[in-house]
Amino acid sequence: MKGVKVVGIDGTDFAKAEIDKGGPFVGTIEQDFDAMALQLANLIEGYFNGIQPESDLYLVPGRMYGK
């Protein structure tokens, strides 16, 4: 199909390669695993120091990959 733009939310190597070669994929969101690990480590450290999490949900922004 012409004119169909494909986007994703997982930032896989396949998706990024398709974007780079100009295939039908135009963008994807990469999960920021380093930021997620840091957020979790900070929460665990706080917990062991007697600090309860302020929320049940923490959002870690992804990174846009695309053209």
- Would you give the distance in Å from CA 56 to the centre of its chain? 19
> Taking the model in full, what pTM does it have?
0.67
**Residue 58 pLDDT > 60:** yes
Q: How, if at all, do strands 63-66 and 25-30 pair? A: antiparallel
At 24, give phi and psi (nearest 5°): -70, -15
Q: Give the DSSP H/E element, type plus range, for residue 43.
A: helix 33-48
3-state secondary structure of 1: coil
Residue pLDDT, tens place only, 9-55: 778 888 888 889 987 888 888 888 999 999 999 999 999 999 999 99
CA angle centred on 29, ends 66 and 41, rounded to 5° = 135
